[in-house]
Structure 1
Amino acid sequence: MITLGVVDGDKVPKYELTVEGGRRLAKEYSRILMRKHRARQVAETGLLKCKKEAIEALPEGLKEAALVPDLTPFPVNRFMAMLTPPIEGYNEKIVEAAKRQSSVKGKLR
């Protein structure tokens, strides 16, 4: 993002990191990732448990239909789901920044 000009490189904080400090940060990052992983596993287990209970609560005919997997592919022209509306002109700004950066690199050679 810095090379595209979207983020100002001067505003990004600079850190001096020792080997020991890097190891400490790596361990802490690993702990955080494992916490997230375990939380995700617990959530998925809970969802699967709820799914099984819901299927068991169905009448016999519907229960059999619910156990058959739906393997039909998604439509090719399906749009990606978004939580917010797209930002007007965002793609054009990124493309323009990339063009500017590539033209600068061309002059440096």
Structure 2
Amino acid sequence: MLIIGEDDQNWCPCESAIDMKAMMERAGNSHLLTVLSYPNAGHLIEPPYTPHARSSLFKDVISHQKFMVLWGGQTLEHSRAQEDSWRKLLVFLRKNLYGDVKTRASLVSNL
């Protein structure tokens, strides 16, 4: 499963996703690839309710020089992408780890 924020300012995930999709198609495995793409979402689409940061400031260990990394994304759209992708990721994992999408109660009883 590939989760893409279309407003990613760190690198262009769309190009990588296109490459991966083409590779999977050439290998006859396109049915194994799920791509979730979210407009106006940034680079770090983490679990829901994780604070959204459009950028981060880092300090190089050796040179002690500070530099900024841009992640992108608009807060509302990014938050919605977090919620939607998390739900879909859990369904994907349940299906592929347990062989079927089951209710939470039955999953707990099978552990």
Bigger proportion of residues as helix: 1
| The structure with more strand, counted as a fraction of residues | 2
Give the TM-score taking structure 2 as reference length: 0.24
TM-score (structure 1 length as normaliser): 0.24
* Rg larger for: 1
